[in-house]
DNA sequence: CTCTAGCGATACAG
DNA sequence: CCTCGTCGCTAGAG
């Protein structure tokens, strides 16, 4: 789900670009996003259960394209199995299964293009595909990290540790995690949209400027706007959240202000302050793998209290 | 007017 | 046995 509306809201920080702009640098890449796109290219084979490695070739093309432009890629794959999403998952599985059945039916009737559309909706990235990709990366001596939970947290941790200078992803969660350079929508030729956490010019006076927010303030804004860990207060979206944090400085003070606001006070749920604190901890102290220490660590240090 | 929330169409590579 | 959606549009509320 990510952060609702965040991608649109930070549009002023985005521009058209190309991977050659980060020649000489190291970049961490969201391997799952690549596999997901790659799977569309061989939806027929995957849906029929026919062994194929086309999706791996697609991903390796991206790896080699980056190398060609002097960029060193590190691939992050996540081994996550998140609790609390079982219902959504089973609904998705049911939908995928019905699309697969419909696709096979259309194929029997000779409607090849109709079948492909359905079969594309039935495919998903399996652990088996991720393992095959991982094995290929190892044999090609490309660095690959399996994150304990969320790839987003792992990638941002590696940037903060200085192991990489940018991230290639499709996920807006990179913004609250404080990554300063994010390459979105990269295609096979290296063209992409580049997000940079830099002050906006005078022409963007009314746009959201994330460079005006401290690391904690960015996270507070995203929790207020609604994230995986906490639904937003009804009527609060990304713009309102940005305004509140800019005005009051942090999440706690923003909630205090809402509690006093005549129109908003009855919309703030009981115990929202506690839920907010829990969400912030989940955000900041996720488990990630530290390559140097070779062990699991918290993304940011848990304070002793 | 701005902003949120929900919905339907759409999605790969070459 | 099996891992994450997103974009544009718009109604409707503030």
Length of chain A: 305
**Does domain A6-196 fall into CATH 3.40.630.30?**
no
Any atom of strand C under 7 A from CB of A235? yes
Residues A262-276 have pLDDT tens digits of 889 999 999 999 999
CB-to-strand C under 7 Å, chain A 107-136: 124-127, 130
The predicted-structure confidence for A115-142, as pLDDT tens digits, reads as follows 888 888 888 888 888 999 999 999 999 9
Low-confidence ranges of chain A (pLDDT < 50): 83-84
CA distance A251 to A204: 25
Model pLDDT, residue A84? 46
A58 touches strand B (CB under 7 A): yes
Q: Where are the alpha helices (DSSP H) in A161-234?
A: 215-225
Strand C nucleotides where any atom sits below 7 Å of a protein CB: 2-8, 14
pLDDT at position A88: 59
CATH number of the structural domain A207-285 = 1.10.150.20
Domain-by-domain residue ranges, chain A?
6-196, 207-285
Give me chain A's average pLDDT, please. 90
Give the separation between CA A289 and CA A292, rounded to whole angstroms.
Answer: 9
Q: A45 CA, C1 C1': separation in Å?
A: 19
Protein CA A259 to sugar C1' B13 (Å): 53
Are A32 and A169 spatial neighbours (Cβ–Cβ below 8 Å)?
no
Residue A210 · residue A14 · CB < 8 Å: no
Residues 6+ apart with CB under 8 A from A272: A233, A255
CA of A187 to C1' of B14 (A): 13
Report the share of chain A in percent with pLDDT over 90. 67
- List the beta bridge partners of residue A181: A196
**A288 Cβ contacts chain B strand, under 7 Å:** no
């Amino acid at each position: 789900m990510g952060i609702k509306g965040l991608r649109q809201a930070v549009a002023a920080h985005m521009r058209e670009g190309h991977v050659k702009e980060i020649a000489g640098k190291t970049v961490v890449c969201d391997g799952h996003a690549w596999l997901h796109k790659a799977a569309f290219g061989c939806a027929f084979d995957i849906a029929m259960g026919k062994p194929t490695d086309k999706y791996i070739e697609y991903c390796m093309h991206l790896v080699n394209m980056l190398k060609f432009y002097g960029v060193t890629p590190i691939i992050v794959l996540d081994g996550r199995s998140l609790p609390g999403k079982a219902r959504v998952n089973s609904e998705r599985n049911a939908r995928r299964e019905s699309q697969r059945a419909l696709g096979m039916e259309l194929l029997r009737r000779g409607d090849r293009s109709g079948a492909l559309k359905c079969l594309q909706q039935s495919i998903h990235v399996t652990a088996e595909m991720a393992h095959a990709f991982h094995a290929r990366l190892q044999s090609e001596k490309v660095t690959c990290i399996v994150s304990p939970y969320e790839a987003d947290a792992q990638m941002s941790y590696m940037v903060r540790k200085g192991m990489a200078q940018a991230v290639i992803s499709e996920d807006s969660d990179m913004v609250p995690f404080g990554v300063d350079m994010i390459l979105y929508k990269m295609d096979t030729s290296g063209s992409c949209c580049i997000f940079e956490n830099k002050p906006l010019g005078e022409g963007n006076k009314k746009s959201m400027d994330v460079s005006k927010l401290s690391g904690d303030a960015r996270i507070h804004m995203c929790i207020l706007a609604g994230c995986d860990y906490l639904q937003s207060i009804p009527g609060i979206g990304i713009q309102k959240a940005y305004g509140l944090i800019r005005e009051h400085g942090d999440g706690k003070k923003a909630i205090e202000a809402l509690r006093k606001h005549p129109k908003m006070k009855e919309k703030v749920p009981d115990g929202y302050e506690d839920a907010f604190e829990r969400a912030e901890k989940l955000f900041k102290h996720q488990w990630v793998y530290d390559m140097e220490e070779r062990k699991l660590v918290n993304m940011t240090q848990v304070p002793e209290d």
